[in-house]
Structure 1
Amino acid sequence: MKLKHAIWTLILGAVSGFSTFAILNSFEEIRRFSTFLLLALLTSLLFSAAYSRAVKKLKNLRFFIPFTLATFLVSVFTFTLYLGFALMQEQAAFLHVRKVALSSDCALLSEEDLENYDVLRRALKSAEISGSAMIKISPEELKKLSKYYGKCVIYNGSAYEINVAVT
């Protein structure tokens, strides 16, 4: 493969990887490994076909197939590298509290319990009014509140589900 084609393989593979990341980031409900592979393959195929057509080698399978495979591998590498750097930097954590139907597995939460958890108290008071609340929390608060994640609590007579989202 000529140097010109190798450079374009790297460029198109990187664009394909970032495109795949952007698509998966936009549509949370389709985030699966199989979807990632399919999207990476499709975007690599699309960019490879466009490039092959531009250099008039679209019908040359001895060029097109290795070029597409190389673009796909660069795409996967770019996606993985970008995702790895994104995960290394814990950007934000959010406490999500929402009002739910009262059930038997909900634990009673008193004002005394909340004395050490000011951010949880604020979220519960906000959810009392609006039905749900999402509050940005610090890494220290994230660790401190870990015993409440995924739990149902009763506060002022209403049941609330407590979750966390880290982005």
Structure 2
Amino acid sequence: MDNDQFIFCLEAVPDVETHAITEVVKNLERLAFEQGIASIYKTCDTIEGLEDSLNALLYDDHNFKDYEIIYLVMPGKKNNICLNNYYYSLEEIAELFEGKMKGKILHFSNAKILDLSEEEAQYFLDITGARAISGYGLEKSTLSSNSIDKAFFSLCQEYDDLIEIVEELHQKHYALCKMLDFRLYY
């Protein structure tokens, strides 16, 4: 990879002690093989596991600055994630990530709906320091976002400008963007 930027993926699973190759892992492997985009993959089953994984990345991984995208594959309801049958609002997640996501893009798969008001999005970005938050208005029950996630990650490697990334994504994958209701808040 020319710019050596990576993806950190955190997937919610029922039990971290049970090791299984998920569709997300297969997708990340294809992304690395086909496009040369490296990633770190972790699982979590509790909010503490989510926080521990993030803290390990922040404080133990000396390459953290190279992780442009934090990819969260977590079920939930609109603007909430679900871990171990407990729901956490994006406001709670923002406070958990407070000041820790400077310059990062937090991208949610369509395992949950992301539908933020302008105020909610600005709050999340201000608290976390994130560059952007993205996701989908259509939940996975009908169609997985895996293929468009890969396209989005690839475009994030090619372009720095968020508007250019979104325009290219819509130009190249218009039908999927509309069908899944791709959203990016910055």
Which of the two has greater helix per residue? 1
> Given the two structures, how large is their TM-score scaled by the length of structure 1?
0.24
Greater C-alpha radius of gyration = 1
